[in-house]
Amino acid sequence: MARYTQFQTNFSVGEMDPLLRARTDLEQYSNGLESAKNVIIHPQGGATRRPGLRTIDKIYDNPTAEEFKLIPFQFSRTDTYLLAVQGGFIKVYKNDVFQVSVSATDITSAMVPDLKYTQAVDTLIIVHQDMHPKRLVRNSDVSWTFEDLPLSFIPTYAFTPHFHYPQFTITPSAVDGNITLTASGGTTDTGTAQGGSSNTIQLKAATSFTGLNTPVGMNVTLTGGTGSGQSKHVHAYDVATKTITIDGTWTTAPDATTAYKVVRFGPSSVGEIITRRQGGSFNGGQARVVQHVSDTVVDAVVQIPFFDTTALTNPISGPAVPTESNSAWQAETGYENTWSDTLGWPRTASFYEARLYFGGTALRPNTLWGSKVAQYFDFDQGTGLDDEGVEATLNVNEFNEITNLNAGPDLQIFTSGGEFVVIQEASQPVTPATFMVKPQTQIGSKPGLPVVNIGGSALFIQRQGQSLVSMQYNQEQGGYGTLPLSTLSSHLLKTPIDMARRRAVSTDEADQIYILNEDDSSITLYSILPDQNVIAPSRIELGVTNPSEYTFVSIAVVVSDVYVLVKYDSNLIGVNVEGHILKFDSSVFTDYAVTGTSASSGTMNQPNVNNPVKVIGDGVVEPNTKIGPTVNFDRTYSTWEFGIDFDVEIKTMPVEPRLASGSVFGLKKRIVQVDAPVYKSQNMVINNQPVAFRAFGAGILDAPVAEFTGTKTVRGLLGFSQTSQITVTQSVPLKLTLLGLEYRVSIGN
């Protein structure tokens, strides 16, 4: 029998995946844990009891289920808010106090989980593919405005394109840039219609059009009478009945009172794509009409440079039908607003370098739009000037539905199939001429979850929800690469549904990533210190009697305060559902915690009164549990807290000392002594053996346990096993920070 002493200096690897049980060769094994439950790993390596959850408010109590979402809002250094969104309402909290409920009737409960948002100063923009983009504007703590985003220009797209072949001469003023297109002749026909239908107008009997296809490709504008003000492209013409068929349909059908004008160019020409023939095909140049100047002149921006500025006329004469093969010009019409209640709205948004960007709709899921510079509600691409709107579609070999936009070092686009960035050469601003989206990696991100930034890296959940991934710029490769952060702890990701980041606010903290899991209603907490390669996961669970009835559904970080929204569904039948806002608070030791002063009883607002609660009065934990909602204390306390206690567990990996004689994997082992350095701690149990913290002396029973910093030693631990692990727990809700473990192991045959 041999004896061996081992010192686990830190727990900086956190809880490790059970699949790594045999990987004793890994360097991380010696600093890992089999279980890190309800603790936070410090960047220095210690593990401390997590903060309790203070009750903030019950925001929902209804016979049927409801969806919730928490959103942070920071107006200034001193004015910060928590927004709780549910179907039809947005509740506003400041300093944990309810301020006002804002009506938001356009937001349905079904939309809530998929809402995306971005904020600038006093305005929060909220988007969903089934809702006109909204803005929530702060006027004061108790006055907020919720309304449609005032979009002054919506980009257009030819969802149902039509191609026409104008029967008139067109002359470009230049081969590239911002140009004018001039058509031959002026007004070709005016008068009062004989009638019309949803997509036709019957011209006057004495119309000047005598050829079969003479007006095709022109514009018909209703100038008076029924339907006045409408303008459409001419799609076809029946010379026998004098009837024009238009592209699309009239909003109001013309009749015998309608005055009309048929011209070369009209208001409906704006957005039209005009292409010129060269060498037998339409490759001689292309321009997009951006402004109607007159019946014969439009302004356009060249998309493909013209071969030259020669005036070209359609060569057709007589009754021949113009086609792609016998025409000099082709006009593409059928353009309509890209976003609408019918076609869908953007599903994600972000501010970046003085533009507002929208990404993806139901019908154009892989397209990105950017507003004009500093004109956030105007997406007009105009003539392509540097400050005008931009647009790009992610056309690669696989489907890429945009799931998130992230304003990192570059504008980053996350999709279901991969990750992209907007390329900016030498930190130059984005312009229509330089707007280029380039693929970087092919991981794909899960819809519905946000992207968070840490130390220049963007963290996201992989599309199947099974990995936490970091994307960062690689100087050597000249592009972005990805790094999986959850390789050693993938078992902790169980269908993630929300994620948030809390920045470190002191040197004894790391940046924290909170991931809410749907499968078991737990929270996976990653403590991350990029500079030191610290990635330390732990798990958070409520201490309730029936955990399946409680679900973490949303999380938000307001500056440094972490809030969660817990849904309680009694008996899991979808009735009498409650929603509760709770806050991680280091000043409390229990969940659903209630605090107060100078009282002998208190009332808690917890959903299930059958949960036993612990009372902490003047720093002393009462020995017996109580049942709420009204809790009578053993005596009157100056300060008190009561709430639901939760289990703390710090369990080492199986002891596998590396001896010169080889592996002892299959040998039985027994831990005979543990030396545990702690910091400002009050309660600890090691392998079911309580550790003494209270010293003997007069008057100690009514006084709180003094905080202890130093080493606690436990001897006399019995029992041989093939694993021999140390399990640190607590018997009462008090402070615990474990810095490391030294243990002596007896190895048998």
Q: Is the pLDDT reported for residue 660 higher than 60?
A: no
Alpha carbons 512 and 43: distance in angstroms, whole number: 11
Amino acid 593 reads A
Q: What is the pLDDT of residue 425?
A: 77
Which token pair is 266? 């009209």
Q: Domain residue spans in the chain?
A: 2-49+648-747, 156-336, 591-644
Name the least confident of 57-66, 135-144, 659-668. 659-668
Which token pair is 699? 């008057």
Q: What is the pLDDT of residue 213?
A: 60
Q: What is the pLDDT of residue 575?
A: 65
Q: Rounded mean pLDDT of the chain?
A: 89
Rg (CA), the chain: 34
Highest mean pLDDT among 319-333, 694-708, 735-749: 735-749
pLDDT tens-digit series, residues 15-52: 999 998 888 888 888 899 999 999 999 988 999 999 99
Which token pair is 732? 């009462």
| Per-residue pLDDT band at 604 (split at 50, 70, 90) | confident
Q: What is the pLDDT of residue 428?
A: 82
Asked if 59 and 581 touch (Cβ cutoff 8 Å), the reply is yes
Asked if 49 and 737 touch (Cβ cutoff 8 Å), the reply is yes
Would you tell me how many other CB atoms lie within 10 Å of the CB of residue 219?
A: 23
Question: Cβ-count burial of 404 within 10 angstroms (0-12 exposed, 13-18 middle, 19+ buried)?
Answer: buried
Average pLDDT over residues 625-633: 87
Q: What is the pLDDT of residue 64?
A: 66
Which token pair is 476? 């050597």
Average pLDDT over residues 281-295: 89
Q: Which residue's structure tokens are 């006002």?
A: 100
DSSP 192-257: E-SEE-SSEEE--TT-S--STTTTTT-EEEEEESTTTT-EEEEEEEETTTTEEEESS--SS---TT
State what percent of residues in the chain have pLDDT above 90: 61
Residues whose CB is less than 8 angstroms from the CB of residue 280 and which lie 6 or more positions away in sequence, other chains included: none
574: DSSP letter: S
Q: What is the pLDDT of residue 509?
A: 85
Alpha carbons 298 and 269: distance in angstroms, whole number: 8
pLDDT tens-digit series, residues 719-733: 777 678 899 999 999
Which token pair is 634? 């053993």
| Per-residue pLDDT band at 688 (split at 50, 70, 90) | very high
Which token pair is 201? 């107008």
Amino acid 234 reads V
Which token pair is 746? 């007896």
Phi, psi of 491 (to 5 degrees): -65, -15
Residues whose CB is less than 8 angstroms from the CB of residue 342 and which lie 6 or more positions away in sequence, other chains included: none
CA dihedral 336, 340, 342, 343 (to 10 degrees): 70
Which CA distances in Å does 301 have to 180, 286, 306, 330? Answer: 8, 9, 11, 16
Average pLDDT over residues 652-659: 77
Alpha carbons 250 and 260: distance in angstroms, whole number: 13
Q: What is the pLDDT of residue 256?
A: 96
Q: What is the pLDDT of residue 312?
A: 81
Alpha carbons 540 and 2: distance in angstroms, whole number: 38
In DSSP terms, 615 is beta-bridged to 642
CA dihedral 704, 709, 710, 711 (to 10 degrees): 50
In DSSP terms, 101 is beta-bridged to 91
Q: Is the pLDDT reported for residue 419 higher than 90?
A: yes
**pTM for this model (two decimals):** 0.88
Alpha carbons 296 and 557: distance in angstroms, whole number: 58
Amino acid 543 reads G
First-to-final CA distance of the chain? 7
Alpha carbons 236 and 241: distance in angstroms, whole number: 12
Q: What is the pLDDT of residue 409?
A: 87
pLDDT tens-digit series, residues 307-339: 899 888 766 554 456 666 777 888 888 788 899
Asked if 41 and 504 touch (Cβ cutoff 8 Å), the reply is no
Complete edge-to-edge strand list for the sheet that includes strand 68-74: 68-74, 80-86, 88-94, 97-104
| Nearest one of 12, 18, 53, 20 to 738, comparing CA atoms | 12
Average pLDDT over residues 77-90: 93
Q: Which residue's structure tokens are 């439950």?
A: 37
Name the least confident of 350-359, 398-407, 424-433, 611-620. 424-433
Alpha carbons 586 and 604: distance in angstroms, whole number: 19
Which token pair is 259? 């005055």
Phi, psi of 548 (to 5 degrees): -65, -20
| Nearest one of 559, 501, 555, 513 to 95, comparing CA atoms | 559
Alpha carbons 380 and 561: distance in angstroms, whole number: 40
Q: Is the pLDDT reported for residue 535 higher than 60?
A: yes
Q: What is the pLDDT of residue 700?
A: 59
Alpha carbons 162 and 139: distance in angstroms, whole number: 47
Amino acid 65 reads A
Alpha carbons 477 and 457: distance in angstroms, whole number: 16
| Nearest one of 687, 684, 658, 685 to 670, comparing CA atoms | 687
Which CA distances in Å does 592 have to 57, 572, 616? Answer: 10, 20, 14
Which token pair is 483? 């790094």
Q: Is the pLDDT reported for residue 573 higher than 70?
A: no
DSSP 483-542: EES-TT-GGG-SSEEEEEEE---STT--EEEEEEETTT--EEEEEEEGGGTEEEEEEE--
Angle, alpha carbons 66-71-76 (nearest 5°): 150
